[in-house]
Amino acid sequence: MTPPAAEHGILLSLLGGGFVAAFLHAALPTHWLPFVLVGRAQGWTMTRTLGAVGAAGIAHIISTAVVGALIVAAGLALDQWVAGLLPHLSAALLLLFGAFYLVRAAVRRPVGANGATMELAEPTVTHAAAFWGLVVMLAVSPGEVLLPIYMSSAQEGPMVLILLTLVFLAGTLLGMGVFTALARAGASLLRLERWARYEGAILGLALIGLGLLILTHQH
Protein backbone atom coordinates (compact mmCIF):
# COMPACT_ATOMS: atom_id res chain seq x y z
CA MET A 1 0.00 0.00 0.00
CA THR A 2 1.35 3.41 -1.00
CA PRO A 3 2.07 5.70 2.00
CA PRO A 4 -0.10 8.87 2.21
CA ALA A 5 2.94 11.11 1.78
CA ALA A 6 3.91 9.30 -1.42
CA GLU A 7 0.34 9.53 -2.72
CA HIS A 8 0.35 13.25 -1.98
CA GLY A 9 3.60 13.67 -3.88
CA ILE A 10 2.29 11.73 -6.87
CA LEU A 11 -0.89 13.82 -6.90
CA LEU A 12 1.14 17.04 -6.85
CA SER A 13 3.27 15.68 -9.70
CA LEU A 14 0.17 14.89 -11.76
CA LEU A 15 -1.32 18.32 -11.09
CA GLY A 16 1.96 20.02 -11.94
CA GLY A 17 2.31 17.94 -15.08
CA GLY A 18 -1.29 18.75 -15.99
CA PHE A 19 -0.57 22.48 -15.66
CA VAL A 20 2.51 22.22 -17.87
CA ALA A 21 0.65 20.15 -20.47
CA ALA A 22 -2.25 22.63 -20.53
CA PHE A 23 0.10 25.62 -20.82
CA LEU A 24 2.12 24.09 -23.64
CA HIS A 25 -0.99 22.92 -25.46
CA ALA A 26 -2.45 26.43 -25.18
CA ALA A 27 0.76 27.85 -26.64
CA LEU A 28 0.04 26.21 -29.98
CA PRO A 29 -0.75 28.92 -32.59
CA THR A 30 -4.32 27.63 -33.01
CA HIS A 31 -4.99 28.76 -29.43
CA TRP A 32 -3.81 32.35 -29.76
CA LEU A 33 -3.08 33.38 -33.37
CA PRO A 34 -6.79 33.60 -34.37
CA PHE A 35 -7.37 36.01 -31.47
CA VAL A 36 -4.49 38.23 -32.55
CA LEU A 37 -5.60 38.34 -36.18
CA VAL A 38 -9.31 38.78 -35.50
CA GLY A 39 -8.58 41.38 -32.83
CA ARG A 40 -6.49 43.40 -35.25
CA ALA A 41 -9.05 43.07 -38.04
CA GLN A 42 -11.86 44.20 -35.72
CA GLY A 43 -9.79 46.98 -34.18
CA TRP A 44 -10.11 45.55 -30.68
CA THR A 45 -8.14 46.84 -27.72
CA MET A 46 -5.80 44.53 -25.81
CA THR A 47 -8.42 44.26 -23.05
CA ARG A 48 -11.16 43.22 -25.45
CA THR A 49 -8.89 40.71 -27.18
CA LEU A 50 -7.85 39.15 -23.86
CA GLY A 51 -11.52 39.07 -22.88
CA ALA A 52 -12.21 36.89 -25.91
CA VAL A 53 -9.19 34.76 -24.98
CA GLY A 54 -10.53 34.26 -21.46
CA ALA A 55 -14.05 33.36 -22.58
CA ALA A 56 -12.77 30.95 -25.23
CA GLY A 57 -10.30 29.36 -22.81
CA ILE A 58 -13.04 28.76 -20.25
CA ALA A 59 -15.30 27.26 -22.93
CA HIS A 60 -12.42 25.08 -24.12
CA ILE A 61 -11.82 23.64 -20.65
CA ILE A 62 -15.55 23.18 -19.95
CA SER A 63 -15.91 21.07 -23.11
CA THR A 64 -12.74 19.18 -22.20
CA ALA A 65 -14.07 18.51 -18.69
CA VAL A 66 -17.42 17.29 -20.05
CA VAL A 67 -15.77 14.87 -22.46
CA GLY A 68 -13.29 13.86 -19.75
CA ALA A 69 -16.13 13.14 -17.30
CA LEU A 70 -17.86 10.90 -19.85
CA ILE A 71 -14.63 9.03 -20.54
CA VAL A 72 -13.93 8.66 -16.82
CA ALA A 73 -17.44 7.34 -16.17
CA ALA A 74 -17.13 4.82 -18.98
CA GLY A 75 -13.63 3.88 -17.87
CA LEU A 76 -14.66 3.32 -14.26
CA ALA A 77 -17.53 1.12 -15.37
CA LEU A 78 -15.13 -0.87 -17.51
CA ASP A 79 -12.62 -0.99 -14.68
CA GLN A 80 -15.14 -2.92 -12.60
CA TRP A 81 -14.77 -5.75 -15.10
CA VAL A 82 -11.08 -5.44 -15.89
CA ALA A 83 -9.22 -4.57 -12.69
CA GLY A 84 -6.45 -2.01 -13.08
CA LEU A 85 -7.15 -1.32 -16.76
CA LEU A 86 -7.84 2.41 -16.48
CA PRO A 87 -4.42 3.65 -15.26
CA HIS A 88 -2.58 1.53 -17.83
CA LEU A 89 -4.90 2.72 -20.61
CA SER A 90 -4.39 6.37 -19.67
CA ALA A 91 -0.61 5.87 -19.50
CA ALA A 92 -0.63 4.22 -22.93
CA LEU A 93 -2.62 7.12 -24.40
CA LEU A 94 -0.24 9.66 -22.87
CA LEU A 95 2.74 7.82 -24.34
CA LEU A 96 1.06 7.64 -27.76
CA PHE A 97 0.14 11.34 -27.71
CA GLY A 98 3.66 12.20 -26.59
CA ALA A 99 5.21 10.17 -29.39
CA PHE A 100 2.83 11.78 -31.90
CA TYR A 101 3.84 15.31 -30.87
CA LEU A 102 7.53 14.42 -30.94
CA VAL A 103 7.27 12.97 -34.46
CA ARG A 104 5.17 15.88 -35.70
CA ALA A 105 7.62 18.41 -34.24
CA ALA A 106 10.49 16.62 -35.99
CA VAL A 107 8.94 16.57 -39.47
CA ARG A 108 6.71 19.62 -39.81
CA ARG A 109 7.70 23.04 -41.12
CA PRO A 110 7.13 26.25 -39.13
CA VAL A 111 3.51 27.31 -39.32
CA GLY A 112 2.71 30.33 -41.43
CA ALA A 113 6.16 30.62 -43.03
CA ASN A 114 4.53 31.50 -46.38
CA GLY A 115 1.79 33.56 -44.78
CA ALA A 116 -0.96 31.28 -46.02
CA THR A 117 -2.24 30.32 -42.58
CA MET A 118 -2.36 33.96 -41.49
CA GLU A 119 -4.87 35.16 -44.05
CA LEU A 120 -8.12 36.66 -42.80
CA ALA A 121 -11.32 37.49 -44.58
CA GLU A 122 -12.34 41.15 -44.64
CA PRO A 123 -13.72 42.18 -41.25
CA THR A 124 -17.36 42.36 -42.32
CA VAL A 125 -18.79 40.69 -39.20
CA THR A 126 -19.99 42.42 -36.07
CA HIS A 127 -17.87 42.51 -32.95
CA ALA A 128 -20.29 40.14 -31.21
CA ALA A 129 -20.14 37.64 -34.09
CA ALA A 130 -16.33 37.75 -34.11
CA PHE A 131 -16.18 37.34 -30.32
CA TRP A 132 -18.55 34.38 -30.13
CA GLY A 133 -17.06 32.83 -33.24
CA LEU A 134 -13.71 32.62 -31.44
CA VAL A 135 -15.36 31.20 -28.33
CA VAL A 136 -17.25 28.52 -30.28
CA MET A 137 -14.08 27.66 -32.23
CA LEU A 138 -12.42 26.38 -29.04
CA ALA A 139 -15.60 25.17 -27.33
CA VAL A 140 -16.17 22.55 -30.04
CA SER A 141 -12.58 21.29 -29.87
CA PRO A 142 -11.81 19.72 -26.44
CA GLY A 143 -8.15 19.42 -25.46
CA GLU A 144 -7.52 15.86 -26.54
CA VAL A 145 -4.07 15.67 -24.95
CA LEU A 146 -5.59 16.49 -21.54
CA LEU A 147 -8.14 13.67 -21.57
CA PRO A 148 -5.71 10.85 -20.64
CA ILE A 149 -4.68 12.85 -17.57
CA TYR A 150 -8.31 12.81 -16.46
CA MET A 151 -8.33 9.06 -16.92
CA SER A 152 -5.19 8.62 -14.84
CA SER A 153 -6.87 10.41 -11.91
CA ALA A 154 -10.31 8.84 -12.29
CA GLN A 155 -10.10 6.69 -9.16
CA GLU A 156 -8.92 9.56 -6.94
CA GLY A 157 -12.44 10.93 -6.50
CA PRO A 158 -14.39 13.98 -7.71
CA MET A 159 -12.39 16.52 -5.70
CA VAL A 160 -9.18 15.54 -7.45
CA LEU A 161 -10.90 15.78 -10.83
CA ILE A 162 -12.18 19.24 -9.93
CA LEU A 163 -8.66 20.29 -8.90
CA LEU A 164 -7.31 18.91 -12.15
CA THR A 165 -9.90 20.90 -14.12
CA LEU A 166 -8.92 24.09 -12.29
CA VAL A 167 -5.25 23.38 -13.01
CA PHE A 168 -6.06 22.85 -16.70
CA LEU A 169 -8.00 26.11 -16.72
CA ALA A 170 -5.12 28.04 -15.13
CA GLY A 171 -2.54 26.60 -17.53
CA THR A 172 -4.75 27.18 -20.56
CA LEU A 173 -5.65 30.78 -19.72
CA LEU A 174 -2.04 31.61 -18.86
CA GLY A 175 -0.68 30.08 -22.07
CA MET A 176 -3.28 31.68 -24.33
CA GLY A 177 -3.03 35.03 -22.58
CA VAL A 178 0.76 35.22 -22.58
CA PHE A 179 1.19 34.45 -26.27
CA THR A 180 -1.71 36.62 -27.36
CA ALA A 181 -0.34 39.53 -25.35
CA LEU A 182 3.19 39.02 -26.71
CA ALA A 183 1.91 39.07 -30.28
CA ARG A 184 -0.33 42.08 -29.69
CA ALA A 185 2.56 43.92 -28.00
CA GLY A 186 4.62 43.65 -31.19
CA ALA A 187 6.61 40.42 -30.82
CA SER A 188 7.32 38.74 -34.16
CA LEU A 189 4.51 36.34 -35.05
CA LEU A 190 6.88 34.33 -37.20
CA ARG A 191 9.33 33.97 -34.32
CA LEU A 192 6.61 32.77 -31.97
CA GLU A 193 5.38 30.27 -34.54
CA ARG A 194 8.91 28.93 -34.94
CA TRP A 195 9.03 28.50 -31.17
CA ALA A 196 5.83 26.43 -31.47
CA ARG A 197 7.88 23.84 -33.38
CA TYR A 198 9.90 23.23 -30.22
CA GLU A 199 6.77 23.54 -28.08
CA GLY A 200 5.48 20.39 -29.78
CA ALA A 201 8.62 18.49 -28.79
CA ILE A 202 8.44 19.79 -25.21
CA LEU A 203 4.76 18.86 -24.99
CA GLY A 204 5.56 15.39 -26.32
CA LEU A 205 8.26 14.87 -23.71
CA ALA A 206 5.97 16.16 -20.94
CA LEU A 207 3.20 13.74 -21.93
CA ILE A 208 5.62 10.81 -22.12
CA GLY A 209 6.95 11.77 -18.68
CA LEU A 210 3.42 11.76 -17.26
CA GLY A 211 2.74 8.38 -18.83
CA LEU A 212 5.89 6.92 -17.31
CA LEU A 213 5.01 8.42 -13.92
CA ILE A 214 1.60 6.70 -14.00
CA LEU A 215 3.15 3.37 -15.03
CA THR A 216 5.74 3.65 -12.26
CA HIS A 217 3.01 4.34 -9.72
CA GLN A 218 1.27 1.09 -10.69
CA HIS A 219 4.28 -1.09 -9.76
> pLDDT for 167-182, tens place per residue?
999 999 999 999 999 8
Q: Is the pLDDT of residue 116 over 50?
A: no
| Within-domain flag for 63 | no
Write phi, then psi, for 153 (nearest 5 degrees): -105, 10
CA dist., res. 36 & res. 146, Å (int):
24
Residue 187 pLDDT class (50, 70, 90 cuts) = low
How many independent structural domains does the chain possess? 1
| Within-domain flag for 107 | yes
Of the ranges 3-7, 58-62, 84-88, 114-118, the best mean pLDDT one: 58-62
| Within-domain flag for 77 | no
Q: Is the pLDDT of residue 32 over 60?
A: yes
Residue 85 pLDDT class (50, 70, 90 cuts) = low
Residue 142 pLDDT class (50, 70, 90 cuts) = confident
Model's pTM, two decimal places?
0.73
Of the ranges 53-57, 128-132, 152-156, the best mean pLDDT one: 53-57
Residue 112's pLDDT is what? 46
**Phi and psi based region of residue 135 (left: phi greater than 0; alpha: psi -120 to 50; beta: remaining):** alpha
Q: What is the number of residues in the chain? A: 219
Residue 102 pLDDT class (50, 70, 90 cuts) = confident
| Within-domain flag for 58 | no
- Number of CB atoms found within 10 A of residue 167's CB: 23
Greater confidence (182 vs 51) lies with: 51
Of the ranges 51-60, 90-99, 143-152, 195-204, the best mean pLDDT one: 51-60
Q: DSSP labels for 62-109?
A: HHHHHHHHHHHHHHHHHHTTSTTHHHHHHHHHHHHHHHHHHHHHHHPP
| Within-domain flag for 139 | yes
Q: Is the pLDDT of residue 218 over 80?
A: no
| Within-domain flag for 187 | yes
CA dist., res. 38 & res. 48, Å (int):
11
Residue 121's pLDDT is what? 43
C-alpha gyration radius of the chain:
19
| Within-domain flag for 28 | no
**Dihedral sign, Cα of residue 14, residue 16, residue 19, residue 23:** negative
Q: Are 87 and 217 in contact (CB under 8 A)?
A: yes
Q: What is the largest CA-CA distance in the chain?
A: 62
| Within-domain flag for 148 | yes
| Continuous segment of H or E residues that includes residue 59 | helix 46-79
Percent of the chain residues past pLDDT 90, beyond the cut:
23
Which domain, by its residues, includes 174?
A: 82-120+128-219
Least-confidence region, from 49-53, 128-132, 146-150: 146-150
- Rounded average pLDDT over 202-206: 74
